[in-house]
């Protein structure tokens, strides 16, 4: 724990502003500030289990923290600790990212939204990127999130799901789309859901792309006054069903509260499914908007 | 209402923004509705259980830290209920960030609020709330035109401007009731052009600040210093920036002056390093391209809050302040600087002016000192610790020394509760304190609401 800098947390509460766990519950204890204060008070992982599992790893807290506390790393470390404490036998080998494929679709697209695959391939073809070889197994990102494995990195061409991008050194499909906006039919008004983890965790690389989209089309977005991305919590382990699940319909409603746009676009597969299921508005994956 | 008693939840509230006072509540209540607050206060009144009310938790003297009893977290009451374009009726657990975010789609902004953005509306109205535009608009508390308040005995009441109870609750330091809703003035959202001017003498900068404020020449203005070596007058314009006859120095002249002061004094070379580090840290925050478009700051509140947290945030937040009349502004600054130098190598001053609206009853025993002037002045003196830490006693002696300056010059303080409470009677006098305490006693017979923060509870008294 000594290299985890929870002791640097000054308790300002900036992290709470965009914390999905806080938005849903109103409990400080489930936020980065709450966890850090509990750790500063000497509590160990077993005393803050609820807080450790409430985090969706959206990265808002890391991006906004004025003390540069590494909140996501702290949560992942604590999850690994809890997993180690709970394990009674040998841990099964975790899935790993497949090296060298041209297109990483990810489990969500492969299993829950295969209808998107033709338009993804068509987009890549138009921009001259290959999509001949694709992944066929889990990249392991969910296992890494759940504390069952450490993160791995493999090289690939293009990754279609921001969740998988954490396991790959590759280009992101959504970012490529932002660089080729002329290929899409983007008639305002629309709401664009930017992939929150990428915007928050790699702000310098991804935020400008979505900011440009917003300026160009004056679209509503899940970007707040801090220029950080709010999340639906879909695409995290808390997006799955079960006792740790977040209330995704409520999160979708919060995000759309002030938007009258009838059409929702996104380049995040899990969020695409969330909006499609719960928004009651037309929802399209970005490649479905190809001219 | 949600009650939590688990160790982790209680630990979240063990300290406040100052991180100097520690204490664990026995339980935490997350209020969602005014009725929740009323129920807690009725039970507490009946069973003599202390209730510490908490919003953003950004007090610095332990005012929102509860040692035992119930910690009443009101942040869950955070909806904008309605907005008519001139005022907004908001739940008082909203942070100012949430207020700004809710108003923006309507093309509106709040009028005046603390720069940290994380204080809640209710907590702010209870202490005042100072913004860089307070010279023109006054405190945040002066933006409230109507309140819903839960009395310490659990009645939910609505009060409007001119009502005596409203005058007690505003600037009341949470002693006379829990604000659960507020109708606050709002205004059109406008981006702001921000300019800064450098000085090497704090007195000259303060004179320029006072002159600009008396002319009502700018939308926003404040002074921020690095030690007393570099003094920046920061001005915000919502209209086209104007030129004023200021007595500032050019950047090169400022650098040359500081260099000449340091060059032949090797023991001060480290100060030059400090100034350089801070300059490279602070200026990009003010001009962060994320928030600037066409030369205008799009979200001044976000930009200033980032500046605040980078400048003042730390493992200890030590911000003694002086609320002072214009006549004593410069003397307070110079004497406070001398105190800072005795205790810390690096420090900063944040100086502002605040418009007051006559002699409203709410100003009595508050951070607005009695004066016939149209404005009062405030200065915060903050050590910049740069990773160093000192014994708690060192910080306390520093704060006392600053507050002693206030006693000598007359005036008031913004942070006079919590561990600074011993200064209350010395500053305001027994008659005024006893009178306010009697009002508290009448409204809060069991003395359960935020006990000990401002007034001694009956047993201690």
Residue A147 pLDDT more than 90? no
Query: Of A61, A86, A111, which residue constitutes the final position of a domain?
Result: A86
pLDDT digits (tens, 9 = 90+) for A161-210: 999 998 999 999 999 999 999 999 999 999 999 999 999 999 999 999 99
- For chain B, the average pLDDT equals 93
In terms of CATH architecture, what is B193-420? 3-Layer(aba) Sandwich (3.40)
Residues A76 and A168 in one domain: no
Residue A41 contacts B where some CB pair is shorter than 8 Å: yes
Task: Quote the pLDDT of residue B389.
Answer: 86
Residue A43 lies in a domain: yes
Which are the contacts of B362, defined by CB distance < 8 A and separation ≥ 6? Answer: B141, B166, B167, B168, B170, B171, B172
Residues A151 and A236 in one domain: yes
Cβ contact A225–B301 (<8 Å): yes
Beta bridge partners of B237: B193
Task: Quote the pLDDT of residue B278.
Answer: 82
Residues A141 and A234 in one domain: yes
Q: What percent of chain B has pLDDT over 90?
A: 79
Mean pLDDT of B293-300: 90
Q: What is the Cα–Cα distance from B303 to B297, expressed in whole angstroms?
A: 8
Residue B96 contacts A where some CB pair is shorter than 8 Å: no
Span(s) in chain B for CATH 3.30.43.10: 2-75
pLDDT digits (tens, 9 = 90+) for B389-398: 899 999 999 9
Residue A92 lies in a domain: no
Q: What is the Cα–Cα distance from B144 to B107, expressed in whole angstroms?
A: 20
Residue B100 contacts A where some CB pair is shorter than 8 Å: yes
Residues A215 and A187 in one domain: yes
pLDDT digits (tens, 9 = 90+) for B60-71: 999 999 989 999
Question: Token pair 């404490």 is at which residue?
Answer: A85
Task: Quote the pLDDT of residue B52.
Answer: 98
Strand pairing category for B2-4 and B27-30: antiparallel
Residue A97 lies in a domain: no
Is residue B42 within 8 A of residue B159, CB to CB? The reply is: no
Cβ contact B11–A258 (<8 Å): no
Q: Exposed, middle or buried: residue A202 (CB in 10 Å: 0-12, 13-18, 19+)?
A: middle
Residue A37 contacts B where some CB pair is shorter than 8 Å: yes
The string of DSSP letters for B365-386 reads: TSSS---SSSEEEEEEEEE--T
pLDDT bin (cut points 50, 70, 90) of residue B283 is confident
Residue A1 pLDDT more than 60? no
Residues A73 and A113 in one domain: no
Is residue B171 within 8 A of residue B84, CB to CB? The reply is: no
Q: Which CATH class name applies to B80-188?
A: alpha beta
Mean pLDDT of A156-164: 96
Omega before B305 cis (within 30°)?
Answer: no
Residues A197 and A274 in one domain: yes
In terms of CATH architecture, what is B2-75? 2-Layer Sandwich (3.30)
Which tokens sit at A21? 């766990």
Instruction: Give the ipTM of the model, two decimals please.
Output: 0.92
Task: Quote the pLDDT of residue A89.
Answer: 66
Residue A226 contacts B where some CB pair is shorter than 8 Å: yes
In chain B, which residues have their Cβ closer than 8 Å to the Cβ of A13?
56-58, 118
Residue A98 lies in a domain: no
Residue B14, min C-alpha distance to chain A (Å): 8
Q: What percent of chain B has pLDDT over 70?
A: 99
Residues A162 and A46 in one domain: no
**Between A11, A29, A258, which is nearest B8 by CB?**
A29
Q: What is the Cα–Cα distance from B120 to B117, expressed in whole angstroms?
A: 8
Phi-psi region of A106 (alpha: psi -120 to 50; beta: other; left: phi over 0): left
pLDDT digits (tens, 9 = 90+) for A110-137: 999 999 999 999 999 999 999 999 999 8
Residue A145 pLDDT more than 60? yes
Residue A91 lies in a domain: no
Residue A94 lies in a domain: no
- The domain that holds A66 is classified in CATH as 1.10.1060.10
Task: Compute, in degrees rounded to 10, the torsion defined by CA atoms B45, B50, B51, B54.
Answer: 160
**Between B11, B56, B116, which is nearest A38 by CB?**
B11
**Between B12, B32, B302, which is nearest A34 by CB?**
B12
pLDDT bin (cut points 50, 70, 90) of residue A55 is very high
Which tokens sit at B285? 């925050």
Residues 9-28 of B with CB under 8 A from A: 9, 11-17, 19
Residue A285, min C-alpha distance to chain B (Å): 26
Span(s) in chain B for CATH 3.40.462: 193-420
Span(s) in chain B for CATH 3.30.465.10: 80-188
The string of DSSP letters for A133-150 reads: SB--S--SHHHHHTTSS-
Mean pLDDT of A218-233: 95
Residues A81 and A130 in one domain: no
CA B204 to chain centre: 25
pLDDT bin (cut points 50, 70, 90) of residue B175 is very high
Q: What is the Cα–Cα distance from A231 to B359, expressed in whole angstroms?
A: 48
Domain that holds residue A69: 5-86
Number of structural domains in chain A: 2
CA B158 to chain centre: 25
Residue A95 lies in a domain: no
Give the residue from chain A lying closest to B3, CA to CA: A27
pLDDT digits (tens, 9 = 90+) for B80-129: 999 999 999 999 999 999 999 999 999 999 999 999 899 999 999 999 99
């Amino acid at each position: 724990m000594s290299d985890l800098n929870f002791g640097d947390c000054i308790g300002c509460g900036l992290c709470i502003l965009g914390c999905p766990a806080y938005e849903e519950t109103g409990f400080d204890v489930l936020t980065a500030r709450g966890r850090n204060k509990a750790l500063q008070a000497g509590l160990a992982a077993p005393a803050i289990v609820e807080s450790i599992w409430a985090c969706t790893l959206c990265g808002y807290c890391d991006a906004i923290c004025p003390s540069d506390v590494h909140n996501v790393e702290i949560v992942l470390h604590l999850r690994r600790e809890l997993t180690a404490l709970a394990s009674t036998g040998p841990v099964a080998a975790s899935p790993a990212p497949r090296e060298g494929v041209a297109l990483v679709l990810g489990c969500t697209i492969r299993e829950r939204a295969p209808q998107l695959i033709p338009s993804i391939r068509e987009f890549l073809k138009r921009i001259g990127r290959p999509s001949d070889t694709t992944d066929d197994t889990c990249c392991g990102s969910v296992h890494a999130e759940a504390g069952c494995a450490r993160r791995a990195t493999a090289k690939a061409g293009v990754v279609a799901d921001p969740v998988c991008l954490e396991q790959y050194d590759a280009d992101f499909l959504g970012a490529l789309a932002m660089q080729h906006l002329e290929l899409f039919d983007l008639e305002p008004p629309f709401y664009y859901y930017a992939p929150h983890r990428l915007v928050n965790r790699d702000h310098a690389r991804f935020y400008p792309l979505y900011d440009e989209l917003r300026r160009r089309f004056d679209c509503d977005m899940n970007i707040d006054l801090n220029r950080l991305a709010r999340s639906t919590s879909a695409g995290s382990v808390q997006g799955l069903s079960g006792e740790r699940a977040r209330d995704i319909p409520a999160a979708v409603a919060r995000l759309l509260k002030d938007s009258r746009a009838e059409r929702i676009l996104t380049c995040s597969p899990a969020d695409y499914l969330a909006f499609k299921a719960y928004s009651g508005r037309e929802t399209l994956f970005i490649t479905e908007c190809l001219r | 209402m949600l009650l939590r008693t688990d160790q982790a939840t209680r630990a979240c509230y063990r300290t406040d923004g100052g991180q100097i006072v520690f204490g664990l509540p026995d339980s935490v209540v997350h209020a969602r509705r005014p009725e929740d607050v009323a129920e807690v206060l009725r039970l507490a009144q009946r069973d003599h259980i202390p209730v510490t009310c908490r919003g953003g938790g950004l007090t610095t003297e332990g005012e929102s830290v509860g040692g035992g009893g119930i910690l009443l977290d009101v942040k869950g009451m955070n909806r904008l209920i309605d907005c008519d374009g001139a005022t907004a009726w908001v739940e008082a657990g909203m942070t100012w960030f949430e207020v700004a975010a809710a108003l923006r789609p309507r093309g509106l902004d709040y009028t005046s609020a603390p720069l940290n953005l994380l204080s809640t509306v209710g907590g702010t109205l209870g202490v005042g709330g100072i913004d860089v535009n307070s010279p023109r608009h006054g405190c945040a508390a002066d933006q409230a035109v109507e309140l819903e308040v839960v009395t310490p005995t659990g009645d939910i009441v609505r009060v409007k401007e001119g009502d005596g109870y409203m005058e007690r609750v505003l600037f009341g330091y949470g002693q006379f009731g829990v604000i659960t809703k507020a109708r606050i003035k709002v205004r059109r959202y406008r981006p702001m052009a921000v300019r800064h001017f450098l000085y090497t003498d704090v007195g000259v900068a303060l004179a320029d600040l006072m002159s600009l404020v008396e002319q009502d020449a700018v939308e926003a203005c404040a002074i921020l210093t690095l030690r007393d070596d570099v003094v920046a007058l920061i001005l915000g314009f919502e209209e086209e920036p104007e030129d004023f006859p200021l007595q500032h120095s050019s950047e090169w002249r400022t650098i040359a002056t500081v260099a000449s002061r340091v060059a032949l004094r090797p023991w001060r070379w480290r100060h030059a390093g400090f100034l350089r580090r801070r300059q490279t840290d602070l200026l990009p925050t003010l001009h962060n391209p994320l928030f600037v478009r066409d030369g205008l700051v799009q979200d001044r509140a976000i930009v200033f809050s980032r500046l605040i947290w980078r400048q003042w945030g730390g493992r200890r937040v030590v911000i003694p302040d002086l609320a002072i009349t214009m006549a004593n502004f410069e003397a307070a600054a110079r004497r406070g600087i001398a105190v800072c130098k005795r205790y810390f190598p690096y420090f900063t001053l944040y100086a502002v002016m605040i418009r007051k609206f006559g002699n409203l009853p709410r100003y009595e025993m508050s951070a607005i000192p009695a004066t016939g002037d149209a404005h009062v002045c405030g200065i915060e003196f903050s050590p910049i610790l740069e990773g160093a830490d000192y014994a708690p006693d060192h910080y306390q002696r520093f704060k006392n020394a600053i507050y002693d300056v206030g006693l000598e010059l007359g005036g008031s303080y913004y942070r006079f509760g919590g561990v600074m409470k011993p200064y209350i009677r010395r500053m305001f006098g027994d008659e005024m304190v006893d009178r306010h305490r009697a009002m508290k006693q009448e409204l809060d017979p069991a003395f359960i609401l935020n006990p000990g923060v401002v007034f001694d509870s009956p047993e201690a008294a």
